[in-house]
Structure 1
Amino acid sequence: MSTILLYCLLAAVVALVAGLVVGRQLAGKARQDLEGQAQARAQQLLQEAEEKGNRIRDERIQQSKDKNRQQRNEFEQESRRLKAELEAELTQRRQGVMEQEQGIKKLTETTQKQLEQLQRKEKELEGAREKNQADTQQLRDKIEDQNEKRRAAHEATLAELKQKEEEADAQLHAVQRQLETVANLTAAEAREQLVESLKNEAQLQAGAFIKDTVAQAKLTATKDAKKIVLETIQRTASEHAIENCVSVFNIESDDIKGKIIGREGRNIRALEAATGVEVIVDDTPEAIIISGFDPVRREIARLSLHLLVKDGRIHPARVEEIVAKTTKKIEEEIIEIGEKTVIDLGIHGLHPELVRMVGRMRFRSSYGQNLLQHSREVANLCATMAAEMGLDVKKAKRAGLLHDIGKVSSEEPELPHAILGMEMAKKYKEHPDVVNAIGAHHDEMEMTAMISPLVQACDAISGSRPGARREMMESYIKRLKQLEETAGAFKGVNQCFAIQAGRELRVMVDAENVTDERAAELSFEISQKIEKEMQYPGQIKITVIREMRSVAYAK
């Protein structure tokens, strides 16, 4: 039994070993099959991955080619557009350069013409100077000849008087003898009668001689005065500047005109309201016209435009700020001009207010003649003539500079400028001779100083030179000022500006005190008053502007 069990166990062990061997072989075969399948699968996956990679690579390459083609097309289109823009800009710049060349050519031609005119004027002036010198020399020679003739005539008269005296002595002796023999008169009585007769005859002859001498002296004095005036004019030669009512503001490009005008014209309206001038923006290339009869206003507008264009920020608030700064700068420049003028002329101790008024003369014209240049010329003429006549040169020069100071004063405009200037000079402690010369240079008061007729004569010399003055300019400016004063007299009016060469009057009113209905009535009332009180050509447009501003501050 045990042997059977042993055999059974042994058979089981053998079967187990055989099963293990067979299982291992089967497992190895299965493993080899699995490895083959895995390798086949891996090979297939690798092949599929390679095909997919090639396909993706081909797609990416194609996409890159399409994208490159699209970018190339876009680049070519952008290049063509930029090329067209560059060609257009180049054409525009070339045209601008051609226009500038034409402008430079025109400017060169104009400059050449002006140079030729200046040369011609210099030749004419040189000829006139030579002619004046020749006339002066001829006048001197003539005066010397006349003096020689008068001297010879005087000597002949003395000889004739001496001969008559001798004849009178002989007659005296004869009469004396005759009286003694015929009339039985004493020598003393005869002498008295003879002396009386000779006395009457001598008085008649002396009166005639004195009359001739006085007439000759008057003729000589007139000629000497003419000689002094001629020499003074020759020694004091100055240019003459005719002021006009238009200033030109040059700009680099016409694109700036749009910024100056602003949206719906608000910038240019703000500038006109702040300065009181008319700003004309038209088709004139690279230029803006500033029109106004007051030179100070035009200069303020021109400098304000320059600062605004340079800064680039142009809007109504900025315009008002710049105009306020420019006005202050102009006042400082006026004082500087006055100080430079008195230093150039060698005038010392002038009151600061008078110095400021002398500077204001630079921006004032009288009959088209610049007032400061006219006053400087009168001062130099007075100094030259005073030196020739032995008078006080410093007083004469001082009075000549200040003689028209009343024209730049805003006080008491109803007074004549000579009287107003005299009152101002008296107020600022000027010498009485200077005060009298200022007040009497238009014969509006009696001359009491020796320099007074000098100032009057030199004022006439400076103003009467050919081309120095224009009467129409003075009357035109007076009419424009009268326009502004007429409108400014109405209640509620803040500012008045005469523009368009006097064809339009712009009136700024107080929005708090003047309603819209009152503004319409005010324009009608001003027009009626102008029609009644003034004379003017054509018609005048009255524009009343009522502007309401609301200001608040956030804190």
Structure 2
Amino acid sequence: MEFISILLVIVAVAIGVYLGKNVLGRKSEPAPIYVPQPDLGEAKEKAENILKEAKEKAEKLISDAKEEAKKIIEEAEERAEKLLKEAKEEIERLKEEIERRKKELKEREESIQAKERHLDRRWESIERREEELLHRERELKELERSLDNFREELREREEELRREREEIEELKKRELEELQRIAQLTIEEARQEILKKVEEEARKDAIKLMKAIEEDAKRKAEFEAKKVIATAVQRLSPQIAINYTTTTVELPSNEFKGRIIGREGRNIRTFEILTGVDLIIDDTPDIVTISSFDPLRREIAKEALQRLIADGRIHPARIEEVVDEVKREFDEKIRKLGEETVYELELHDINPGLYYYIGKLYYRTSYSQNVLLHSKEVAYIAGLMAEELGLDAKLARRAGLLHDIGKAISHELGGSHTDIGVELARKYGEPDAVINAIRAHHDEEPVRYPEVALVCAADALSAARPGARRETLEAYIRRLEKLEEIVKSFKGVANAYAVQAGREVRVIVNPEEISDEEAYLLSKEIARKIEEELDFPGQIKVVVIRETRHVEYAK
């Protein structure tokens, strides 16, 4: 509309100029009637005014148009910059998406490679298993031959016993006649005397025979058991993890100690109350010590303190915020650790509700031994032994992993970790063999499954391995004193010595009171009483020593 107005003004000015020129240039002609002449000066002035106004209006319109055009250009430039910025952001986002996709593809590729390696290992394991089965078949054949030889020996011994009985009967007759002739005893009295002597001799012979048979059977059984255990243990390379009660955190400089303590100690008090640990700040340069018997609290406190040091802002509100954040992250970390453990042992059908409790075992200790690493070790050993014996290896691994699951929360709820473990196992639908393993590994109920027996053996192996566990000096001394006290309570024991850190006890007996056969029976009775009255890891070897010395001096 403004442009049309400018055109109309310009046309009007042009018409005025044209008319003015025609009027001024036109010659006067006589006319019969007088017509008054227009005032040319006034017309010219009006025309100039109109022209001037038109020019001003045109200039103003042009100026307005330029400003409008400038604004449009500026807006266009801003919009172009905005579009360019958005385009760059979109390009960056696409780059990040491409990188993420590349990373995912790389992870998938690594996962596929890992699975391929796992399949290769499984194939090698199957091949080794086939070789072991062939070897075991040969050994079974040899064992059958040995059993045949053993049966033959038993028949020979039975024949010897029969001959000895005949000889005894003959001796009985002779002694009867001799006693009647010399002592003039009655037949009944002679019979009782002879039976008493024969009973004593037969008892000694029976003890000797029992000892020989038992030692032979024990030697063969021990050989087979050692072979199975050695085969299982040598295929496992376990970690030995000893947990301590303190953790150290390095500081960038010593000035951070004052910032951690805070004004009037408010920062350190807030930190200790929220995390449940003790912060030890001493003269050691650039070191702060975190002390707590709870490994989970120590780890949370360590992570929170490292984040506060890295952030630099250390005050009560920030401490509370960081500690809460670390606690939330640790819950997810614990669940993830349990899930990784389950998949590592190939127990994919375990209820996901147990992942958190399995992961929490990593932050529990037993005699300073990490409970999760102990449970994994028990699972591996039990599974390997089950494979050697042709049993259910997966069930053995499952029972081995969950046999101490109650320790994850027993310190929070109180009570026996076996009772709590049974409740958890039943809650999440674990099979009866797992529940039996939880109770049986502490002898709270008899073993009902062969896989559970392997779990109990693997538990003892893991606990008894040198360096796996520690105990306090007081508890160690009490255990040795109790062991020696039990042994000395038996009649005929002169002295007893606990050696090998309490894993062996040597018993010295009076040779006048204890015979060789009675020493053999005494070792069994001592071992049985130790099992009933003393708690101990692994096994204790009982060695009974009977020695007679005769000393004389030549003068």
State TM-score, norm by structure 1. 0.48
Bigger relative CO (Cα 8 Å, ≥ 6 apart) = 1
